[in-house]
């Protein structure tokens, strides 16, 4: 197979980006700024260029304020109206912000980015939005570095939650998602359809990947040329067995893998159905074949980010 299966990357990237977007306090509003009651005590003004240390000190103050339960709950409420999911998200954010090793790395990383952006320390609302943007970007960057550090059982749970989520979508949602649309309304709709247990799994496992990267543990897995050849053989074996129960779906998957639809854009709904069915089969696969297939999904995702 000359091409890696692009639809596995779509399924993975979609689930992860949704999780990361929704699991962190990325969208601060003027109301949140007022709620924080934050007033910059930094001596840097518009006439004095702030240093990285200035931004780091301000970040520490803001993160401490953001850790307050009422603030976490308020931000979670701005993301979803489901009280169960609000509690899951706020608890996750609290745990994330209290991890000192992660917090130190994030503060140093984001402070440097804020300095490069020249963000004002005196405009709290704008600063919170900038911090949210950089927090999301940094977390995704660390996740991309850490996903290959997940064990097979962890990866199986993560991909299982993604498959469960995609299997809950109706055709209209499939159409929107796989046509490439991306906005806050779409993400909110996806979160509303997400099962609470899958949300819990998402947040736990994506955080694990981030922590593995930040703390440089465990060793990252890589796929050699022989591993890829074995994974491709296992993939077609899965499709072959799948053909007995759903010939048309297996045929669609085979066509996409072979790139026979390269000259025409696949129908988003067909692409969605095929992607989630194949991902479900990959999650179910057992033994060394299953492990290789799940690594192939990660390899595809990371390969297509380059």
Backbone torsions φ then ψ of 24, nearest 5 degrees: -125, 155
CB 89 within 8 A of CB 24: no
- Residue 180's pLDDT is 65
Rg over CA atoms, the chain: 21
The sign of the CA dihedral 17, 18, 20, 25 is positive
Rounded CA-CA distance 119/280 in Å is: 44
- Residue 264's pLDDT is 58
- Residue 77's pLDDT is 84
- Residue 47's pLDDT is 43
Helix pair 225-245, 268-284: axis angle to 10 deg: 110
Q: Is the pTM of this model over 0.85?
A: no
- Residue 212's pLDDT is 93
Residues in the chain where the model's pLDDT stays below 50: 1-10, 13-14, 17-29, 41, 43-47, 261
Cis peptide upstream of residue 218 (ω within 30 degrees of 0): yes
- Residue 5's pLDDT is 45
The sign of the CA dihedral 114, 116, 122, 128 is negative
Rounded CA-CA distance 302/228 in Å is: 14
């Amino acid at each position: 197979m000359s091409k890696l299966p692009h639809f596995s990357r779509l399924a993975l990237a979609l689930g992860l980006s949704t999780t990361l977007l929704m699991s962190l306090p990325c969208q601060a509003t003027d109301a949140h700024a007022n709620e924080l009651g934050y007033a910059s005590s930094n001596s840097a003004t518009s006439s004095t260029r702030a240093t990285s240390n200035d931004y780091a000190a301000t970040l520490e103050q803001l993160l401490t304020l953001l850790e307050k339960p009422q603030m976490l709950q308020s931000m979670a409420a701005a993301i979803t109206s489901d009280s169960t999911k609000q509690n899951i998200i706020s608890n996750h954010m609290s745990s994330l912000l209290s991890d000192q090793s992660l917090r130190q790395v994030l503060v140093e990383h984001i402070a440097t980015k804020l300095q490069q952006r020249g963000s004002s320390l005196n405009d709290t609302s704008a600063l919170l939005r900038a911090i949210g943007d950089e927090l999301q970007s940094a977390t995704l960057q660390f996740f991309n570095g850490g996903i290959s550090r997940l064990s097979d059982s962890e990866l199986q749970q993560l991909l299982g939650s993604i498959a469960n989520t995609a299997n809950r979508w109706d055709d209209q949602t499939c159409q929107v998602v796989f046509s490439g649309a991306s906005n806050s309304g779409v993400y909110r709709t996806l979160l509303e359809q997400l099962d609470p247990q899958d949300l819990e799994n998402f947040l736990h496992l994506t955080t694990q990947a981030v922590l593995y990267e930040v703390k440089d543990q465990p060793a990252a897995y890589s796929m050699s040329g022989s591993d890829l050849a074995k994974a491709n053989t296992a993939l077609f074996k899965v499709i072959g067995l799948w053909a007995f129960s759903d010939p048309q779906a297996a045929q669609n998957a085979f066509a996409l893998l072979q790139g026979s639809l390269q000259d025409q854009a696949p129908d988003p709904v067909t692409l969605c159905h095929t992607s989630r069915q194949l991902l479900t089969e990959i999650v179910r696969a057992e033994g060394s074949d299953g492990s290789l297939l799940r690594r192939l999904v990660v390899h595809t995702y990371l390969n297509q980010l380059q």
